[in-house]
Amino acid sequence: MTTVRPLGARDLTAALELAGRHPVDNVLVLAKMRSSGLEPKLVGHPILGAFDPDGRLAGLLSQSISLTPVELAAPLAAAVARRLGPTRRAGSLAGPRDSVVALWSELVRLSPGQWGRPRDFRDYQPLLVLDHDPDVPADPTVGPVGPNLAPAYYQAAVAMYSEEIGLSPVEATGSYRRHVEDLMRQGRTFGHWDGRQIVFKTDVAVASGPVCQLGGVWLHPEWRGRGLSAPALSAVVRACRRRWPIVSLYVNQHNQVARALYRRLGFVQAGEFATVLW
């Protein structure tokens, strides 16, 4: 019988070993565990562990505003879904496709009214990696964006998020602004400033060990169609690889323009992601 419980400090070695089997797929959860361990007070939200009948850790679920599964094949997903219960508290479910689909299927079975009405289901998102510098020359005007450009970068980040997700991230709590400012303080925000506004931006959304994952790749609509994205992103990849040799990202299946851009830079597919948005 599969058992599910919150993980604690004694489980850290096993949890890191499990997630570390696929470090590109699981970079988000690895970063969380390596920075905060598994102490509930430090993690903020409990990480659930699914244990097989022999008591071995076989799957994980990181919980916050978004759910992130690790190795949650169908038998484990059912037990984790029961533990989560019928009331939905998360705004999204994202990660390796097999685990996302398995867990969501069980959650919908448990409570179709709560879990079965997503705003969007992105059922196939290629996970891409690049472990060498692109052949495309880098745009020398693209580099780290510092606090002096924080308002402009935040404005560009809001535009990117609204275009990608279909909703504005601006909230009364200011949590999205804090998220962007945190990335900036960590040196993980890159862009091009044209003297008036940020017209290209990309974040290092998460990093752990030798792997980083890019997010928020965006070019201002007025600048599109000029062949600027490839040199700009090439500059970001080269800068990132000085800290993290393996650069990854995932992309929506339908976004053929972006997929062509990533192929041109040398990204290759390493897996499949999926995202459920409520």
Q: How far apart are CA 109 and CA 81, in angstroms?
A: 9
Instruction: Give which of 176, 182, 217 is closest to 200, Cα–Cα.
Output: 217
pLDDT of amino acid 74: 82
Model confidence at 256, in pLDDT bands (50, 70, 90)? very high
Of 30, 40, 28, give the one whose Cα is nearest residue 67: 28
Average pLDDT over residues 10-19: 97
pLDDT score for 172? 53
Domain-wise residue ranges, the chain: 3-117, 130-272
CA 172 vs. chain centroid, Å, equals 23
Q: Please name which of 6, 37, 31, 4 lies closest in space to residue 19, comparing C-alpha atoms.
A: 31
Q: Give pTM, 2 decimals.
A: 0.93
User: pLDDT class for 44, splitting at 50, 70, 90?
Assistant: confident
Distances (CA, A) of 140 to 143, 191, 246: 7, 11, 21
Regarding predicted confidence, which is higher, 79 or 1?
A: 79
- Where do runs of H (alpha helix) occur along 44-174? 74-84, 97-110, 112-115, 150-165
Do 130-272 and 3-117 have the same topology in CATH? yes
250 three-class SS: strand
| Per-residue model confidence as pLDDT tens digits over 49-69 | 999 999 999 999 999 889 999
Residue with tokens 């090439």: 234
pLDDT exceeds 70 at position 231:
yes
CA neighbor of 208 nearest in space, from 244, 168, 155: 244
pLDDT at position 73 is: 85
Second CATH level (architecture) for the domain 3-117: 3-Layer(aba) Sandwich (3.40)
pLDDT given at position 149: 96
Q: Among all chains, which residue has been given the structure tokens 């999205």?
A: 176
pLDDT value at residue 219 = 97
Of 3-12, 14-23, 162-171, 224-233, the poorest mean pLDDT is in 162-171
- CATH number 3.40.630.30 is the correct assignment for the domain at 130-272: yes
pLDDT 10s digits, 127-175? 999 999 999 999 999 999 999 999 999 999 999 999 988 888 886 557 8
Residues 6+ apart with CB under 8 A from 59: 18, 49, 50, 69, 70, 71, 72, 73, 76, 77, 80, 99
Share of the chain above pLDDT 90, in %: 88
* pLDDT of 236 higher than 90: yes
Structure tokens at 52: 């097989």
Is 123 a residue whose pLDDT tops 80?
Answer: yes
Task: Give me the residue label for tokens 């308002």.
Answer: 151
Mean pLDDT of 209-225: 96
